[in-house]
């Protein structure tokens, strides 16, 4: 009797392992939310200069550079031409895990006029500019652990972080590696 029960339990264990291993839902698990490569980027819902909420998740399906910067930040302003060049080159490109490329700019400014002037002066032509105008007290700079700017996170079409703090040629290199 003990032998029979042991065989039945082994058979049930084997069957449950097989069912679990072949369950397609397990393959579709989302990455955990976090700040490491391979994590799903935390959601951002912030105000545009026009005062409208803009969700990071509204850009799902595209490769997105989440770019933390400010008008008063010299290194940020020097990096902006690189970001503009990447946007111009890849905005309509098809990638392995995304269709198109865009930038979601999160400003650590505290003065709206300076922020808007810098967007215009640096020709930051994408539409996704947000700020809470709280300077270093920015809610999302805190959530993303931003301690210096410029700082950025590259996410794929599913919102998964695939690169961090990519500047200069490293940004172009990382994006070009995602081409179909």
pLDDT classification of 30: cutoffs 50, 70, 90: confident
Mean pLDDT, range 4-32, rounded to an integer: 46
Query: What average pLDDT does the chain have?
Result: 88
Which residues touch 154 (CB under 8 Å, ≥6 apart)? Answer: 63, 64, 65, 66, 161, 162, 163, 164, 166, 171, 174, 175
Q: Could you tell me the two tokens for 131? A: 């700020």
Identify the burial level of 26 via C-beta atoms within 10 angstroms of its C-beta, where 0-12 means exposed, 13-18 middle and 19 or more buried.
exposed
Mean pLDDT, range 22-43, rounded to an integer: 77
Mean pLDDT, range 139-157, rounded to an integer: 98
More confident residue, 119 or 18: 119
Does the pLDDT value for residue 5 go beyond 90? no
The domain 31-176: what is its CATH number?
Answer: 3.40.30.10
Structure confidence at residue 33 (pLDDT) = 96
Mean pLDDT, range 81-99, rounded to an integer: 96
Structure confidence at residue 106 (pLDDT) = 98
Structure confidence at residue 78 (pLDDT) = 98
More confident residue, 163 or 25: 163
Residue among 24, 35, 44 at smallest CA distance from 146: 35
For Cα atoms 41, 173, 63, give the angle at the middle one, nearest 5 degrees. 35
Structure confidence at residue 104 (pLDDT) = 98
Structure confidence at residue 97 (pLDDT) = 87
Query: Considering Cα of 144, then 45, then 159, then 167, what sign does the dihedral take?
Result: negative
Does the pLDDT value for residue 117 go beyond 70? yes
Structure confidence at residue 105 (pLDDT) = 98
Does the pLDDT value for residue 178 go beyond 70? yes
Asked whether 71 and 87 are in contact (CB, 8 A), the reply is no
Q: Which percentage of the chain shows pLDDT scores above 70?
A: 84
Domain boundaries, the chain: 31-176
């Amino acid at each position: 009797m003990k032998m029979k029960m042991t065989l039945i339990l082994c058979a049930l264990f084997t069957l449950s392992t097989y069912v679990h291993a072949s369950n397609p839902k397990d393959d579709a698990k989302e990455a955990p939310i976090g700040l490491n490569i391979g994590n799903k980027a935390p959601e951002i819902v912030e105000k545009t200069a026009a005062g409208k909420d803009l969700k990071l998740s509204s850009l799902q399906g595209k490769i997105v550079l989440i770019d933390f910067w400010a008008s008063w930040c010299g290194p940020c302003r020097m990096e902006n031409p690189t970001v503009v060049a990447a946007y111009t080159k890849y905005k309509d490109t098809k990638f392995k895990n995304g269709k198109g490329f865009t930038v979601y700019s999160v400003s650590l400014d505290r003065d709206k006029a300076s922020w808007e002037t810098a967007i215009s002066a640096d020709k930051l032509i994408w539409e996704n500019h947000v700020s809470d105008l709280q300077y270093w007290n920015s809610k999302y700079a805190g959530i993303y652990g931003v301690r210096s700017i410029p700082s950025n996170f590259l996410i794929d079409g599913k919102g998964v972080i695939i690169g961090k703090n990519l500047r200069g040629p490293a940004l172009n290199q990382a994006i070009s590696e995602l081409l179909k």
